[in-house]
């Protein structure tokens, strides 16, 4: 991080990105051209820069620079808390460029990919990213104010990532299917779902799922406050078929599936998931057959139990 002299502050004004003649985003942070690594959601560091740009604020800026922070100069004083959050996303190392004042400017190294989301605060000054020492979060977070800034930025970033989740929702549910899981690690059930959606209601990002009242998972949805919706690579299609056709009342279908349960929040997902959406139940309503067209009743509910609709606030997408 760098504290700029007063005569430089007004010159250090940057936007999130500019646009090339071909309509591509042109970023200004160090390493953006080769920052092509992705996380499980498909987010690259360039995507993360855009999301961080909406999460950085004066309260996440280093205290000694806070008076100089502006939305236009948003990377000022954000280097260490940003770099450790980036490490949470991609792994790798946080390294530090030694500065004249005895501190370090933090950046990220993930394999062969070197990038610095907060380099713009240095304006035209060139930093040397070679041979820089590794930075340990345990050392940095000995400063309580820095740890608290990290937690604040993490919270703000999480909300922005949820709103950034732009996967083709209809294809995810309809073509890839998903697992709906409710309960705790001590007692849970999961089922395959292909009906659902993501959206916004009551000022919150939400996931909507539909569960027949006859399903074993329905008991866990009613009995708990949290649930997950998780998506899987194509090679797990057969596994999802087992979980969709067998009841947990009658067999240990989790053992047969071969999936590995793991805790997320107060409920459950699986190690093999590409994406897990953690939700807190907000609303339940039966889908009344009397309110449906005869065509729908005939096609979907001739001999089967009706569905209940559940709406859950999206808390995390991992």
Regarding whether 160 and 14 lie in a shared domain, the answer is yes
The CATH number for 225's domain is 2.30.110.10
Ranges 53-57, 127-131, 198-202, 254-258: which has the least confidence: 254-258
Q: Are residues 110 and 230 in the same domain?
A: no
Confidence band, pLDDT 50/70/90 cuts, at residue 230: very high
Mean pLDDT to the nearest integer, 148-155 = 95
| 198 shares a domain with 150 | no
Mean pLDDT value of segment 64-82: 95
Looking at the structure of the chain, the number of domains it has is 2
Domain match, 105 and 143 both: yes
Alpha-carbon separation of residue 304 from 15, 37, 210, 289, 300 (angstroms): 55, 46, 14, 12, 7
223 pLDDT higher than 50? yes
Phi, psi of 274 (to 5 degrees): -75, -45
- Whether residues 91 and 223 share a domain: the answer is no
Of the candidates 120, 143, 164, which is a domain's last residue? 164
Taking 3-state DSSP, the helix, strand and coil percentages for the chain, each rounded to the nearest 5, stand at: 35, 30, 35
* 119, 135, 164 - which closes a domain: 164
Could you tell me if 197 and 149 lie in one domain?
Answer: no
109 has a pLDDT exceeding 50:
yes
- What the block records as the tokens of 92 is 């790798």
Q: Which of 55-59, 171-175, 207-211 has the lowest mean pLDDT?
A: 171-175
pLDDT score of 235 more than 90: no
Q: What separation in angstroms does the CA of 14 have from each of 30, 65, 187?
A: 13, 17, 51
Report if residue 1 sits inside a domain.
no
Residue-number span of the structural domain to which 97 is assigned? 6-164
Listed residues 145, 164, 183: the one ending a domain: 164
Residue 82: count other Cβ atoms within 10 Å of its Cβ.
Answer: 29
- Do the domain assignments include residue 136? yes
CA distances from 285 to 193, 209, 222, 228, 281 (A): 17, 11, 11, 18, 12
Residue 131 has pLDDT above 80, yes or no: yes
23 pLDDT above the threshold of 50: no
Same domain? For 90 and 237 the reply is no
On whether residue 41 sits in a domain, the answer given is yes
What token pair was written down for 127? 């930093």
Neighbours of 242 (CB within 10 A): 16
Kindly compute the dihedral angle of the four CA atoms of residues 149, 151, 153, 159, in this order, to the nearest 10 degrees. -160
The CA distance from 18 to 23, in Å, is 9
271 and 181 fall within a common domain: yes
Is 286 a member of any domain? yes
Are 250 and 305 part of one and the same domain?
Answer: yes
Contact 270, 261 (CB under 8 A): yes
Give the pLDDT band (50/70/90) at residue 318.
confident
273 part of a folded domain: yes
Lowest mean pLDDT among 89-93, 208-212, 255-259: 255-259
Q: Which of 312, 318, 43, 316 lies closest to 197 in space, CA to CA?
A: 312
Predicted pLDDT at 165? 61
Consecutive H or E run containing 137: helix 137-140
pLDDT at 164: 64
DSSP string, 268-291: EEETT-SEEEEEEEEEEEE--GGG
Query: Looking at the domain assignment, is residue 307 inside a domain?
Result: yes
Does the structure show a pLDDT above 80 at 174? no
The verdict on 215 and 159 lying in the same domain is no
SS3 13: coil
Give mean pLDDT, residues 231-244: 79
Scanning the structure block, which residue is given the tokens 């409710």? 182
* CA distance to 56, 59, 198, 225, per residue, from 118 (Å): 10, 16, 32, 39
Residues 109 and 13 occupy one common structural domain: yes
N- to C-terminal Cα separation, the chain: 29
- Check residue 20 and give its pLDDT: 31
Query: Is pLDDT of 224 > 90?
Result: yes
Residues 150, 242 within the same domain: no
């Amino acid at each position: 991080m760098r504290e700029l002299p007063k005569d430089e502050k007004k010159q250090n004004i940057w936007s999130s990105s500019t646009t090339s003649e071909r309509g591509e985003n042109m970023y200004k942070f160090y390493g953006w051209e080769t920052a092509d690594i992705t996380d499980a959601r498909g987010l690259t560091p360039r995507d993360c820069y855009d999301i961080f740009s909406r999460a950085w604020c004066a309260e996440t800026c280093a205290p000694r620079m806070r008076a100089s922070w502006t939305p236009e100069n948003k990377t000022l004083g954000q280097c260490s808390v940003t770099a450790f959050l980036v490490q949470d996303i991609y792994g790798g190392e946080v390294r530090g460029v030694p500065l004249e004042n005895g501190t370090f400017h933090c950046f990220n190294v993930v394999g062969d990919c070197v990038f610095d989301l907060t380099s713009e605060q240095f304006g035209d000054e060139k930093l040397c990213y070679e041979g820089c020492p590794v930075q340990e979060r345990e050392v940095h977070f000995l400063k309580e104010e820095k740890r608290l800034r990290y937690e604040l930025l993490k919270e703000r970033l999480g909300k922005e990532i949820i709103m950034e989740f732009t996967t083709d929702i209809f294809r995810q549910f309809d073509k890839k299917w998903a697992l709906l899981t409710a309960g705790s690690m001590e007692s849970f059930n999961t089922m395959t779902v292909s009906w659902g959606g993501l959206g916004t209601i009551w000022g919150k990002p939400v996931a909507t799922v539909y569960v027949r009242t006859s399903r074993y998972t329905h008991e866990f949805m009613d009995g708990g406050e949290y649930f997950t919706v998780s998506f899987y690579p194509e090679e797990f299609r057969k596994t999802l078929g087992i979980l969709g056709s067998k009841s947990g009342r009658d067999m240990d279908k989790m053992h047969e599936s071969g999936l590995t349960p793991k805790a997320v929040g107060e409920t459950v997902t699986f190690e093999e998931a590409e994406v897990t959406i953690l939700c807190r139940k907000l609303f339940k309503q039966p889908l009344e057959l009397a309110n449906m067209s005869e065509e729908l009743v005939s096609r979907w509910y001739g001999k089967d139990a009706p569905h209940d609709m559940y709406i859950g606030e999206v808390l995390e997408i991992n």
